[in-house]
Amino acid sequence: MTDSLAIALLQHVPVPADIEAALQRLDDAASQAAGQGAQLLVVPEASVTGYNIPRETMVKVAQPADGPAAQAIAQICRKYAIAIAYGFAEARGEQFFNCVQLIDQSGERLVQYRKTHLWGDLDRELFTAGDQFAPVVEIDGWKIGLLICYDVEFPECARQLALQGAELVLVPTGLMQPWRAVAEQLVPVRAYENQIFIAYANYCGEEADLHYEGRSVIVDPNGEDLDRALQTPVLLQATLDRDTLTNARAQLPYHRDRRPELYTSLHNKPKDLS
């Protein structure tokens, strides 16, 4: 177990449906991040394949979890001795899933997560929803959970991972205008209320008719920004300190003081409020 974890987070303009360009961009970012001491690199939602693309394009670019893109990224991980969490569109039979996959420094695929909360018509017309959270895994002794974009806007998702022991939650995202409040207000709250670090990796610029907010951020368990982007391409970096995590949990023992017996109604779906 290490007392710190150096992470990097890439905010970039999307280049949809150009996997070769995406892999080159990822290689360049991994080289820069590793050169600055990062142990883990995180990139946005569907960064490798593109997110806001027509279904006929999705058929051409979506890949299996162990497909050519995954193999190329595993090679990048080994080349620079850095772990990478990346978003991509997964093809499985005739279905597509919005996925994030974490590959460690040795090139081993540790875990894959399929987005469970689909956003609007864009997601629903392209993707099938995942039906479970991914297990918490470890990188250099740090316990890491995965979510994608809209998932983090549901408090139950981050809480579920925190209760599984996650210390850091990685959230590749494609947050678009006008929902800046998610990046600036909601993500710090999720970190604070669950006493975890969150790395929220977004696009900037445009993709078809979407205008992305940028505002990627790495937040500590006190809800404080360790590094935050504006609306231009950038590689964020921060070193996570275990003492910060331990102290936050000691000062405000939210996990200990929970009363799950009072929350049983959370399992019930409310009436339609629309």
pLDDT tens by residue, 12-30: 999 999 999 999 999 999 9
- pLDDT tens profile 127-161: 999 999 999 999 999 999 999 999 999 999 999 99
Q: What is the pLDDT of residue 274?
A: 56
How far apart CA 175 and CA 48 sit, in angstroms, is 16
Catalytic pick from 149, 153, 167, 207? 149
Question: Does the residue 268 lie in any domain?
Answer: no
Question: Does the residue 25 lie in any domain?
Answer: yes
Catalytic pick from 77, 90, 99, 115? 115
Q: Is residue 265 predicted with pLDDT exceeding 60?
A: yes
Mean pLDDT of all residues in 181-198: 98
Question: Does the residue 17 lie in any domain?
Answer: yes
Look up residue 152 and give its two tokens.
């983090």
Residues spanned by the domain of 66: 4-254
Mean pLDDT of the chain: 96
- pLDDT tens profile 47-81: 999 999 999 999 999 999 999 999 999 999 999 99
Q: Is residue 179 predicted with pLDDT exceeding 60?
A: yes
- pLDDT tens profile 34-52: 999 999 999 999 999 999 9
Question: Does the residue 88 lie in any domain?
Answer: yes
77 is catalytic: no
CA 100 to chain centre: 7
Question: Does the residue 43 lie in any domain?
Answer: yes
Question: Does the residue 262 lie in any domain?
Answer: no
Read off the amino acid at residue 110.
Answer: L
Percent of the chain with pLDDT over 90: 95
* SS3 of the chain: helix, strand, coil, percent, to 5: 35, 30, 35
Question: Does the residue 163 lie in any domain?
Answer: yes
Q: Is residue 269 predicted with pLDDT exceeding 90?
A: no
Pairing state between β 83-92 and 95-103 = antiparallel
Q: What is the pLDDT of residue 272?
A: 66
Q: Is residue 3 predicted with pLDDT exceeding 80?
A: yes
Pick left, alpha or beta for residue 262 (phi over 0 → left; psi -120 to 50 → alpha; otherwise beta).
alpha
Q: Is residue 267 predicted with pLDDT exceeding 80?
A: no
CATH of the domain at 207: 3.60.110.10
94 is catalytic: no
How far apart CA 146 and CA 158 sit, in angstroms, is 9
DSSP H or E stretch at residue 200: strand 197-201
* Number of structural domains in the chain: 1
- pLDDT tens profile 241-250: 999 999 999 9
Farthest-apart Cα atoms in the chain, separation: 52
Neighbour tally for 44: CB within 10 Å: 29
Question: Does the residue 274 lie in any domain?
Answer: no
